[in-house]
A = this chain, B = another copy of it.
Amino acid sequence: MRPQKVLDIEILTGLSKIFRSKGYEGASLKDLSDATGLKKASLYHRFPDGKKGMADAVLNHINNWVDEKVFFELLNTEKTPEERLKTGLEAVRVLYEGGEETCIFRALSMQSSLELFENQISGGMKKWINTFKTLGLALGFSPTDAKEKAYQTLIKVQGSLIVTKGLNDITIFENTLVQIENEYLDQ
Query: Which residues from chain A sit less than 8 Å from chain B, CB to CB?
Result: 21-26, 102, 105-107, 109-114, 118, 121-122, 125-126, 151-152, 154-160, 162-163, 165-168, 172, 175-176, 179
Contacts and interface: CB of A to CB of B under 8 A. Distances in A.
Contacts of A151: 163, 172, 175
Contact of A110 (B26, B122, B156, B160): B26
Contacts of A166: 105, 109, 121-122, 125
Contact of A156 (B102, B109, B122, B159): B159
A114 B159 contact: no
Nearest to A162: B158
B25 A165 contact: no
A21 B110 contact: yes
A26 to B, nearest CB: 4
Given A23-B23, A151-B175, A159-B160, 19 more contacts: A21-B110, A25-B26, A26-B26, A26-B110, A109-B162, A109-B166, A114-B165, A122-B167, A125-B166, A126-B167, A151-B163, A155-B155, A155-B159, A155-B162, A155-B163, A155-B172, A156-B159, A159-B162, A162-B162
